[in-house]
Amino acid sequence: MKKNPLTITIGALLIVIFFLLLFVFQVRKTEVAVVTTFGKPTRTVTQPDFYVKWPWPIQSVHKFDQRVQNFEDKFDEALTADNYNLLSMVYVGWKISEPKDFFPKFPNSEGSVMAAEKYLEGLVRSAKSAVIGRHPLSDFVSTNEKELKFAAIEDEILKAVQSQLTAKNYGIEMEYLGVKKLGFPESVTAEVFKRMTSERQVLISKTQFEGEAEASRIRSSADSKSAEMLANADAQATRIRGQGQKQAAESFAVFQQNPELANFLLGLNALELSLKDKATLIFDQRSQPFNLFQGYSTNLTNNQK
C-alpha cells in the first residue's frame, strides 16, 4: 500500500513543528526571558531572536515585558515636618533591569508585572511618607516660587525607593517618579489659606517697603541733580553777567570819548531793528531814532531840484 505524498508532507511538517515547540523558543523585542533548568534560573535572554532549549520538564522559559511600566499610587495623607496633614499622589515609571533577579521574586510570568507593581506601591507609599515628614509645608505650597522644592522631593522619594530595590536585589530599576496631585483635608484647608494670606501680606509689605525706599532714593537723586543744575546755572549766569558788564564798561568808556558817535550808532541799531521785517512805518522825524531821516530827506529834496 502506497502512502499519499501529501500525507507524508503534512506528517513531516507536524513533526518539525512539534520539534520546534519542544526545543525552540522566541524572544520578542519587547521581552526578556529567563530559562530555568529543573526550576532554577540558569540563563537570561535579553536580545530578540530564536533560541534552543531542552523540553519540559528539563527546562522552562519565563518571559517578562521589558518595557517601562507605569502606575499611580493612592491619594493618601502624610504628616509634614511642621505637623500639617498633606494629601499627595505620585506617578511612577519602572522596568525590569535584571530578569535573573526579578524572576525568583515574581515567578509568575503572566501576573509578575501586577505583583511587582503591588509591591512597589508599598515601597513608594512608605518612602513618600518618610520624605514628606522631613519637609515643611512651605516646600510644597508657598506664595514664593523660590521656596518650592518639588524637584528635590521627587528625587528624594525616587532614590529612597531605588535604594531599597537595589539592597534586596529585586532586579527593578526606577525610571522616573513625580508628584501628580496635592491636597489638604477639610480641617487643614482653612488654616493653610490663612497661612498663605499671611505670607502674601508679608510679601506685600516687603514690596511696599522696597518701593518706598526706591522712591526715596530716586527723589534724593533728583533733588541732588536739581541742586547741582541750579548751582551750575547760577554760576553760568554770574559769568555771563560779568562778561556783559565788562563789555558794557568798555563800550561806555568809548562812548564817553565821543557821545555824538554813540548816539548815532544807537540810533542806527534801533532803525535796523525796526526795519528788519517788511513794514510800512508812520513816524515823527523829530523822535529818536527817526530824527536821522531829517538830514536825509533835506538832501533828497535838494537833489531832486
Q: Which one-letter amino acid corresponds to residue 239?
A: R
Residue 110: the pLDDT is 59
Residue 173: the pLDDT is 93
Asked whether 196 and 92 are in contact (CB, 8 A), the reply is: no
Residue 158: the pLDDT is 94
Percentage helix, strand, coil, to 5, in the chain?
A: 55, 20, 25
Give kind and range of the element (H or E) at residue 235.
helix 186-257
Q: How many whole angstroms from its chain centre is CA 269?
A: 73
Length of the chain: 305
Query: How far apart (Å, rounded) are the C-alpha atoms in residues 242 and 252?
Result: 15
Beta bridge partners of 239: none
What residue ranges of the chain have pLDDT lower than 70? 1-3, 8, 11, 16, 19-21, 108-111, 143, 187-196, 199, 248-268, 270-305
C-alpha cell recorded at residue 66: 521589558
Residue 128: the pLDDT is 93
CA angle (222 as vertex; 218, 224 as ends), nearest 5: 120
Residue 252: the pLDDT is 64
Residue 144: the pLDDT is 74
Query: How far apart (Å, rounded) are the C-alpha atoms in residues 176 and 69?
Result: 10
